Amino acid sequence: MIESRKCQVLIVGAGPGGYVAGIRSGQLGLDTIVVEGDKAGGTCLIRGCIPSKAIIHAAERFEALREHSSEGGHMGLSVGSEPEVDMAALVSWKDAIVDKLNKGVEALLKGADVELVKGWATFTGSKHCTVETPEGPLRIEAENVIIATGSSHIDLPFMPCDEEFVISSTGALDLGKLPKKAAIVGGGYIGLELGCALAKLGTEVTVVEGLDSIMAMFDEELRRPLKIWLKRHGVTVHTNALARGAVVKGKGASRKVELTFEKGGEEQSIKVDKVLVTIGRRPNTKGWGFENMGVRMDVSGRFIRIDNQCRTNVPGIFAIGDVSGEPMLAHKASAQGEMVAEIIAGHSREFEKVAIPAIVFTEPEIVSVGLSPDEAKELGEEVIVGKFPLAANSRALTLEAEKTGGFVRVTARKSDHVILGVQAVGSHVAELNGEFILALEMGALLEDIASTVHAHPTMTEAFHESILKTLGHAIHTT
């Protein structure tokens, strides 16, 4: 006999949207089940944001050691020999962080009296599913369903990832050996975050991007410091270049993969140890039986259609995170998950955020919150803009965060000085996003930030100075 279970809330997927929704539902006293086929934590924790940032940090440490081991050292510090990379040990260290966080998520769910079911769910009706668990099938009937199935790497049909020579971002985070040469297909944030890390570790990196610029989601002013860093570190970038295929050549340990791409009407090829494909992600909407639930897709056909409460067209069914539309970011999913749990519990909530921060952990880091100057003008706003260079910030100098020409830029409405957007580029600027997004969500005026005392010496002073620059009277720059 197949075991059956009823609950008030069924959540499919234990990623940053699903597990947050589960914990909040449990806190609110709702009988909640979370179904997860892999490890709790989802792509972000297991094979995305967290492990990639761990490797990026390790790469930064290694690059610093290389500087100290060079002739004359650096900062008056030197080490006696050339540092080495043990990629297997680095990956093991990364895995330990992931395992710790995974266990932490499971403990939080348990602490909130949420049942975590390991297995894959298939829906036979709007609120009925069967989960194939290691112990056998489990039927679940729920009063409310939260779809939080996340997204997956997109393969190129003519060169699918085998995770040995042609790898996805998942494979890049589990390398047993550091490649001497690597090609990255796709010049977006995933490819360039990993590309910068590999370059710091000593890999010769080539980027193949189909558009006319890398990191095309940002304006040229924000992209320029990254381009400078890539050039200084010997990263070759091919834009307006389309990958055409990859073939493994050679025998045994000498095997290489030859990547062919088209640029300027001509076919070119390079031989590398690994080809990393990072052309984007697709929402996980297939294979769950969602067609049996009756939920409708949006006009693109990619995402589940939702309203500003994450409700689908079917009463009692919600969709959050990557399956519900752009931006496909973990922190958006978490915010939606918390909100939906409260809506189910009877609270009045809507998802109407002024802005959702976007952060890229390349070198230098890029942060964007709200509108850029061009975006604001396209919406008909008359704006004033101020930009403050990190080279004029004392803390940035002590951290060497100014070396690539980074800055903080503020865009405000000219008529009333409401802040419309903040962007920053430079080492260590990611941690400034909290102040940026808080200013926008609270509807801050330039004068609100200008009159706030910022501690010295800190990087946040760069935000303060950029506000003063927008008002026309920055202190530490002309």
Residue 258 near residue 246 (C-beta atoms within 8 A): yes
- 254: pLDDT strictly greater than 90: no
pLDDT at 381 (0 to 100): 98
How many Å apart are CA 263 and CA 169, to the nearest integer? 24
Report the relative pairing of strands 317-319 and 136-147 from DSSP bridges.
parallel
Per-residue pLDDT band at 243 (split at 50, 70, 90): very high
- 71: pLDDT strictly greater than 90: no
pLDDT at 69 (0 to 100): 87
Q: Where are the alpha helices (DSSP H) in 260-372?
A: 330-344
Residues of the chain with CATH 3.50.50.60: 3-47+92-152+282-344, 166-279
How many Å apart are CA 417 and CA 386, to the nearest integer? 12
How many Å apart are CA 54 and CA 50, to the nearest integer? 6
Other CB atoms closer than 10 Å to residue 384's CB: what's the count? 18
How many Å apart are CA 299 and CA 201, to the nearest integer? 43
User: How remote is the C-alpha of 297 from its chain's centroid?
Assistant: 24
Sign (positive or negative) of CA dihedral 246, 249, 251, 256: negative
- Kindly report the CATH class assigned to 3-47+92-152+282-344: alpha beta
Residue 120's DSSP bridge partners are: 132
Task: Give the three-class secondary structure for 406.
Answer: coil
- pLDDT tens digits along 29-59: 999 999 999 999 998 889 889 999 999 999 9
- Helix and strand tally (H, E) in the chain? 13, 22
How many Å apart are CA 308 and CA 395, to the nearest integer? 41
How many Å apart are CA 457 and CA 398, to the nearest integer? 10
How many Å apart are CA 187 and CA 196, to the nearest integer? 11
Q: Which fold has domain 166-279?
A: FAD/NAD(P)-binding domain (3.50.50)
Phi, psi of 267 (to 5 degrees): -90, 130
Other CB atoms closer than 10 Å to residue 460's CB: what's the count? 19
Rg, the chain, Cα only: 24
> Of the candidates 155, 190, 174, 185, which has an alpha carbon nearest to the alpha carbon of residue 329?
190
- 251: pLDDT strictly greater than 90: no
How many Å apart are CA 100 and CA 63, to the nearest integer? 26
Dig out the tokens for 236 from the structure: 């070759």
Residues of the chain with CATH 3.30.390.30: 358-471
Q: Which fold has domain 358-471?
A: Enolase-like; domain 1 (3.30.390)
How many Å apart are CA 189 and CA 191, to the nearest integer? 6
How many Å apart are CA 130 and CA 142, to the nearest integer? 12
Per-residue pLDDT band at 18 (split at 50, 70, 90): very high
Q: Model pTM?
A: 0.94
Residue 458's DSSP bridge partners are: none
pLDDT at 171 (0 to 100): 94
Q: Please state the rounded mean pLDDT for residues 189-215.
A: 97
The CA-to-CA distance between both ends of the chain, in Å, stands at 78
- 402: pLDDT strictly greater than 80: no
Residue 170 near residue 153 (C-beta atoms within 8 A): yes
Residues with catalytic annotation?
Answer: 456
> Of the candidates 155, 384, 373, which has an alpha carbon nearest to the alpha carbon of residue 276?
155
How many Å apart are CA 282 and CA 153, to the nearest integer? 7
Tell me the residue type at 105.
V
How many Å apart are CA 408 and CA 364, to the nearest integer? 13
Residue 359 near residue 40 (C-beta atoms within 8 A): no
Q: Please state the rounded mean pLDDT for residues 169-180.
A: 95
Dig out the tokens for 234 from the structure: 């010997």
Q: Angle, nearest 10°, between helix axes 189-201 and 49-69? A: 30
The greatest distance separating any two alpha carbons of the chain, rounded to the nearest whole angstrom, comes to 78
- pLDDT tens digits along 347-375: 999 999 999 999 999 999 999 999 999 99
Per-residue pLDDT band at 478 (split at 50, 70, 90): confident
How many Å apart are CA 348 and CA 396, to the nearest integer? 43
For the chain, percent of residues with pLDDT exceeding 70? 100
- pLDDT tens digits along 279-288: 999 999 999 9
How many Å apart are CA 340 and CA 228, to the nearest integer? 43
- pLDDT tens digits along 297-348: 999 999 999 999 999 999 999 999 999 999 999 999 999 999 999 999 999 9
